[in-house]
Chains A and B, each alone.
Chain A
Amino acid sequence: QKEVEQNSGPLSVPEGAIASLNCTYSDRGSQSFFWYRQYSGKSPELIMSIYSNGDKEDGRFTAQLNKASQYVSLLIRDSQPSDSATYLCARGGYSSASKIIFGSGTRLSIRP
C-alpha cells in the first residue's frame, strides 16, 4: 500500500463546475497535509495546507481533512481552463525519521 494514494486521472471537468480531487494516506501519525499544483514542465506550487479536521477555504479552493478516515480532498469551485494541471497531495513529516511524502498526482483537465 502506498503511503499517499491518489487517482492518477485524467479527471475531466467542464468549465465552471466543481472539481473534486481525493487523496488517502496510510500513516495515522501524519499531522499536516498539502495540496500542490504543478503545470507541465514547472515546479510544484503550494495551493493549500491543512492541519485540522474539517474544511479550509481559500478563494475557489477548499481543502477537507478527515483524520479518522485518513482522507484529504481538494475542491475547486468554478473551474477554469487555467486549473488544468497535475495536483499533488502530500503529507508532512512528523518526526526526525518521517519526511514529506507525495502522492503520484492527479491530472485535472478543465474542458471549455
Chain B
Amino acid sequence: NAGVTQTPKFRILKIGQSMTLQCTQDMNHNYMYWYRQDPGMGLKLIYYSVGAGITDKGEVPNGYNVSRSTTEDFPLRLELAAPSQTSVYFCASSYSTGAGYTFGSGTRLTVV
C-alpha cells in the first residue's frame, strides 16, 4: 500500500530555476492538497484540488502552479525559484472534505 508518494525527497535549486514536485496517490482519492512547512511553523495551504480538472488557490499560492489531469497525480510547479520558497513541501490526499488526510513524506527544497 504506497499511499501518497512524493518525489524528489531533497532538491537544491538556484534562484530563478524552475522545477516540478511530483505527487501521486493510489487510494483513488478525489481531494489532493499541497502544503508548505517552514521551520518551526505549521502547514500553509498552497493549492488544492477536489477532482481531476479542478484546482483552487489556498493561503499562499503566489509563485506556484498546479495541474490535475488525472485522479492519481497532482504536480506542483515552481517557476523562477526564490529563497522565500525554501521549505518542506507536503502533498496530501483525502476521500472527502470531512475526512483525515494521508500525507506524503515530503520534499525538502532549498533555493540558493
Do these two chains really belong together in a complex? no
